[in-house]
Structure 1
Amino acid sequence: MIHKQEQDESFKLTIDHLKGIISNIYIAGVDSNAIIMIWAMAELVRNPRVMKKAQEEIRTCIGINSKEKLVEEHLVKL
């Protein structure tokens, strides 16, 4: 883009252009992560055996049994 600006003086890259480009890059990353999480959750629902194994691994890592409820404070142990 800067090279294009040097060649053609009518093309002006402003701060607003840069803000828009950076915003698009950030939003694209957020969308990708959301889509991956949705896909992963759908696959776990489709495969109960794998979901149970993942749950057991998380509970073992955190140090709680299957009767205890997982709460936000446990996330620091992951």
Structure 2
Amino acid sequence: MMLASQSATLPTVTKAVKTFDSLPGSALLSVTDVCTVLQRSRSSIYRDFEAGRLTPVKVGCSTRVRVEDVRRLAQAGGAV
């Protein structure tokens, strides 16, 4: 049984996620957007960084991922 304070949060669909297919490969996505696109958890994305399957790009204090890297991982079956 779930309490009202424990309600499930749905991922926010950002403009980047909505237009993912039309974004250039050099565009940068937040880790949250990558999680939404690949339907995976944040920790699994960080495991992909550690394993070299995704390359993190630091922009100030935030971490971003190139769209081309996300597409490559998804095509390789990493979206499971």
Above 0.5 in TM-score? Answer: no
Which of the pair has the greater relative contact order for Cα pairs under 8 Å at 6+ separation?
Answer: 2
User: Shorter-chain TM-score: what band?
Assistant: under 0.3
Q: Structure 1 or 2: larger strand share?
A: 2
Q: Which one has a bigger Cα radius of gyration? A: 1
- Relative to the length of structure 1, the TM-score reads 0.24
TM-score by length of 2: 0.24
